[in-house]
Structure 1
Amino acid sequence: MSSKKPDTTTIPIVDLGQLGEGVPTVDNLAQGLVMAVGGPALKRWSDNSFSRCLGVAGGPSEDELQRVAKELGAALTGVGFAYLKNHGIPSQQVEAVFSSASKFFSLGKETKLKYEKGPSQRHGYVAVDREKLDASAKFLELRETFNVKDMSYPLPDEEVPEMRMALETFRASCWALVSNVLTAIAIAIDLERDFFTSTQEELFKSGGESLALLRMAYYPTVPATVPPNTIRCGAHTDYGTITLLFQDDMGGLQVRDVEGRWVDATPIPGTIVVNAGDLLQFWTGGKYVATEHRVIIPEEEVRRQSPRQSIAFFVDPNAETLVRPLDGSNTYQPITAKQHLLNRIRMTYTY
């Protein structure tokens, strides 16, 4: 949409404006629709969410849609990351997930291991240093996670009963935001507006073939003595289409720019971080950039002695979607979304 050279060193703030207004903000509405997973109520809600992106009555104006598309497109073709402002997801929903996750991660090791993710599974608890995101695998990664594939899989309902409700409402709001973002990034590169959303409809089908994942991450306090090759999260790119990232205020996330320099993605209150994943880069022949990022151990003692939390909503196409460069080039070889995910997972987990 623009011939201006993209900024590859600064993570911009994109104000979603009217697109953020299309995200449901009433908790019980979102809850009721998610409880109807796969049913007519959910389909009506999803269709309505998509229609808000398309400039119909009650939705954003065409000028507003084009503005957001241009800004978001510039960010993802540049540094590959952006902060989303006025995104429409209530802070109470984010805080509720953070709170329930903190309660879970504070449980004893044996209790957490009851929910451990197996080698062939995507859902469940992952203990410290079981997931090696840095390709060299030389770092000790101080991080534990709980991955949520969908709400039909086991959750710690006995130990943290509030987690299920918090996740249900939060996931609904995330999907509404995702549909808006995917529509905008399609417009930015002159694709059909539903090109990306049409590949993701399995996202909310319980037990379906969606590869999307919600990850609650917990970075424990740093021991007084740690080996020099210790990090909170090793350098990596995300695997899918896009990722929504919710940070607490502890910081530590860094993004590698095209010059190889690490740029701090300092938390900005009220914003969400969005970034492109591998498959979006493949689809667009490298136009949208899946940027390497990591989470470092802070130098300040006060932050080393404070845990860090984040929530990532990983958006992937339906499992059998064949991803190939849309420009007809052979820059990337065709691959299904599922096969790419399996390839990356095999390189990541230690079992």
Structure 2
Amino acid sequence: MSRSAAGVEDRIVAKTVDLAEIPIIDFSPFRHGGEAGKQAVAAEIADACARIGFFYLKGHDVPPQVLAETFAQSKAFFQRPVEERRQSAASPQWYRGWIPMPRREGALDRNSRLFEQYRIQADFSDRPDPDPVFDRPNRWPEDMPAFRAACEAHYAAMLGLSRDLLHAFAIGLGQPEDCFDAWFDRPICQLSLLYYIPIPDGADVEVSNTVSHTDEGPLTILAQDSVGGLEVKRRDGTWISAPPVPGAYTINIGDMMMWWSNGRFLSNYHRVRNKAGVERFSIPFFLNPDQHTVVAPLPALVAQDGGQARFDPVHVGTHLKRFYARLEKSPGDFL
């Protein structure tokens, strides 16, 4: 994640606004409405990505039981005693599995990390020469086979939905539908199960569960529970709440899609502040391209912009390895 640089950002309280600020888009016509449906939905998505970088997606065809079972297994895991959670804990050498909250000393501040995580990545350990960062096998709680089954089913569903969303982004940018496909043969994606404690009463206004940040990859598909707490920054600098919408995923653009679009799409700052007084669960899926992909503004879009590329090329594997190296040294910096 790319964190906001100035702590002043996290002293701004989010406003509750009309949900139209973050549009709800029905994906059904894209999949079932022929070419006209694809064009219409892609235009809606492109408008949302240009204005705020976030939208809600309904009509996604993901079976409700897939999400319900993943939430149930996530809750079951995080409610286990610490000693049992620790059996599948991540380590700097094998950074998959359970990541606890750091021990806190003194008053909470902007850098406090008030959530736990279970981190699952693409498993390419079958490669002849596996990469130690990207190709390690996942770590699973050995006595919870249903946990693994639910997570793997959810991962597969999110990867399938992501591929269709990439087609919509391509059309929305005026490019061929398969524009991004070649860069997602064996994508190094990540699924996270997140558990947020309530922010204590009386905590300073800058305290949040996760500090304001942007996401590294092209897109994130977020499943929220009913508690809420996600907040999003508008282009005018105002922070607004992004409450859960029943039956819909929350989608946001990440840095790599902003780079590909040469800035047409916005990778926007967001954060979580759980002020509801109860625990909160969420499940984000972070789409990443293949390890050796080089992300750079699409040539056709650069040509439309008078030949000016607004972002330098970035090698995905190198970029994410630097990101993960920071996490291994300081897990409290992680979302």
TM-score range, shorter chain: 0.7 to 0.9
**2:69 partner amino acid:** A
Matched residue SS, 1:279: helix
Equivalent in 262, 274, 283 of residue 239 of structure 2: 262
1:192 counterpart residue number: 176
Query: Gaps (5+ residues) in structure 1?
Result: 1-8, 23-58, 131-136, 203-209
2:311 counterpart residue number: 332
> In the TM superposition, what is the alpha-carbon distance from 1:347 to its structure 2 partner?
4.5
1:133 counterpart residue number: none
What is the distance in 2 between the residues matched to 1:197 and 1:333?
21
Distance 1:138 1:348, change over 3 A: farther
1:216 aligns with 2:182: no
Matched residue SS, 1:331: coil
1:176 aligns with 2:160: yes
**2:84 partner amino acid:** T
1:106 counterpart residue number: 79
1:218–1:310 Cα contact (<8 Å) kept: yes
The number of aligned residues is: 286
Of 137-146 and 216-225, the range deviating more from structure 2 = 216-225
- Give the TM-score normalised by the residue count of structure 2: 0.80
1:117 counterpart residue number: 90
> In the TM superposition, what is the alpha-carbon distance from 1:271 to its structure 2 partner?
0.6
1:208-287 counterparts in 2 under 5 A? 210-223=187-200, 226=203, 229-287=206-264
**1:188 partner amino acid:** G
> In the TM superposition, what is the alpha-carbon distance from 1:91 to its structure 2 partner?
1.6
What is the distance in 1 between the residues matched to 2:204 and 2:51?
35
> In the TM superposition, what is the alpha-carbon distance from 1:178 to its structure 2 partner?
1.1
**1:80 partner amino acid:** G
1:127 aligns with 2:104: no
1:79-102: CA deviations, max 9, x gaps?
A: 000000111112211110011011
What is the distance in 1 between the residues matched to 2:60 and 2:201?
39
What is the distance in 2 between the residues matched to 1:270 and 1:290?
24
1:312 counterpart residue number: 284
1:79 aligns with 2:52: yes
Matched residue SS, 2:237: coil
Equivalent in 2, 15, 23 of residue 12 of structure 1: 23
What is the distance in 1 between the residues matched to 2:145 and 2:198?
25
> In the TM superposition, what is the alpha-carbon distance from 1:220 to its structure 2 partner?
2.2
Distance 1:236 1:274, change over 3 A: same
> In the TM superposition, what is the alpha-carbon distance from 1:122 to its structure 2 partner?
4.2
**2:308 partner amino acid:** S
2:140 counterpart residue number: 155
1:321–1:337 Cα contact (<8 Å) kept: yes
What is the distance in 1 between the residues matched to 2:39 and 2:84?
49
What is the distance in 2 between the residues matched to 1:76 and 1:129?
34
1:143-166: CA deviations, max 9, x gaps?
A: 0000111364221131x2211221
Alignment RMSD = 2.1
Matched residue SS, 2:21: coil
> In the TM superposition, what is the alpha-carbon distance from 1:211 to its structure 2 partner?
2.1
Of 261-270 and 188-197, the range deviating more from structure 2 = 188-197
1:246–1:312 Cα contact (<8 Å) kept: yes
**2:321 partner amino acid:** L
What is the distance in 1 between the residues matched to 2:263 and 2:231?
21
Distance 1:239 1:229, change over 3 A: same
What is the distance in 1 between the residues matched to 2:81 and 2:286?
27
**2:265 partner amino acid:** Y
2:117–2:192 Cα contact (<8 Å) kept: yes
